Structure 1
Amino acid sequence: MDLINKIADGLIANGAIKVEDRDLYEYGLKQGLLIIVNILTTIAIGLLFNMVWQSLLFMIAYIPLRSFAGGYHARTQSKCYFFSILLTMSVLLAIKLIPCTRFNIVCIAMIAAIIIYALAPVEDANKPLDKMEEEVYKKRARKILAVELCAMLLAMGLRVSWVSFCISVSILALSILIIIGKVKNFRSGGCCTTNK
């Protein structure tokens, strides 16, 4: 990207980074830009659905858990971006269409939590995990899941059911990606078996 190249050139010219570190900083800048684009896109989808708070809460619940639980990943960044748009729209539609009852909130969360607890982390060919990383990711995913379930129950106790429902559906979305990721790995004969 021209913008990233120009920023890297400027940082080198100002002596902020070394020439030999250019690739590392370009990668970091690219990832940062992708995060900003994804956040802005999610907010834009929230505006389109008139569900900005729900879209923000989805990101807050989904991203930390996704980082450690893993699941299905698209092969390219452009496919990943369009998949993220589709996922966000699907989550917001589910929040809008599924009745927001205590029973639904608890059932959805419990089914999703069992799947995540049992199967996470699910690695991908683009992000293989060795045994030690797998254990670390499993513990972190379970801790984040526990925190999110506690937040969901707290919101229910405070009678802010829409918050509980957003968290519940976000956890459900991730559990579905975990199942898809497991199936994909099984069909391809296992993921990254050389790193085990």
Structure 2
Amino acid sequence: MFIDSISKTISQKMLDASIISIEDKDIYYYGLQLIVSTIVKGMGLLIIALLFDKVVEALIFIGAFGLLRINAGGFHLDTYFKCFVVTSAFMMLCIWIGNMIPLSIAPYIIICCLAMTALFILLYAPVDNPNRPLNGKEYKKFRVRSLYIMYFFAITIILVCFIKTELYKYMCIASLSILFEGITLLPVWKR
């Protein structure tokens, strides 16, 4: 409700100030919802990370998950609060697992995560948002972007692991983060 309230207030003030037209109010309202929810969620995730002294790990999770999420889409929960709780829980789970994986099996875990995510993207990306379905041109654009981002992550993560093995835990977290995003693409989440 907090996010909706802020978005409605700002879009109404923009309309009152003749910055936007009445026809565009819903578009701006939706855009503001996305911006405000992203800021609130990001701040909340960083506060949790600060409490657990895991800021670097959280930034890796947010960056990896977020960059792929923006382009590949995925399952959406019905409230911002539920989304925040689930994302927070999975962020902490990815960080915890990433820190627990022994160096001896880290490359195998990373390769499995990357392979599974690549498969999910090849099969299902992008998944559009029910509030804003993709047209044919947008679908193709976001599909190509999702694949490029996946290739970028795969190459970067593998190179970092070979060049600086002491960073493997961060690469495990990045791999788990994009796997989490890949799981949200699966059709099992459709209602």
TM-score (norm 2): 0.78
Structure 2 counterpart of 1:111, from 116, 119, 128: 116
Hey, what does 2:179 align to over in structure 1? Answer: 172
Matches within 5 A, 1:94-109: 94-100=97-103, 101-109=106-114
Q: Quote the RMSD (CA, aligned, Å).
A: 2.7
Cα distance, 1:44 vs. partner?
A: 1.6
Equivalence for 2:158: 153
C-alpha distance 178-104 of structure 1, shift in aligned 2 (>3 A): same
2:76, 2:83 within 8 Å by CA — same for their partners in 1? yes
Distance apart, 1:168 and its partner CA: 1.0
Deviation, 1:73, is 1.0
**3-state SS, counterpart of residue 185 of structure 2:** helix
Task: Kindly report which structure 2 residues correspond to 1:28-177, keeping only aligned pairs within 5 A, or say none.
Answer: 28-100=31-103, 101-159=106-164, 160-177=167-184
Q: Which runs of 5+ in 2 are unaligned?
A: none
Distance 2:108 2:100 in 1: 15
C-alpha displacement of 1:96: 2.8
Asked if the contact 2:91–2:177 (Cα under 8 Å) also holds between the matched residues in 1, the reply is no
Q: Is the 8 A contact 1:42 1:56 kept in 2?
A: no
Name the counterpart of 2:19. Answer: 17
Distance in 1, Cα, partners of 2:133 & 2:27: 20
The residue type equivalent to 1:175 in the other structure is G
In 2, are the aligned partners of 1:74 and 1:83 still within 8 Å (CA)?
Answer: no
Equivalenced residue count is 183
Q: TM-score, normalised by structure 1?
A: 0.77
CA–CA separation in structure 2 for the residues paired with 1:119 and 1:2: 34
Alignment check: 8 A CA contact 1:8 1:26 kept: yes
Which consecutive unaligned segments of at least 5 residues does structure 1 have?
A: 189-196
- Between the aligned partners of 1:111 and 1:5, the Cα distance in structure 2 is 40
Return closer, same or farther for 1:184/1:8 CA change in 2, 3 Å cut-off. Answer: closer
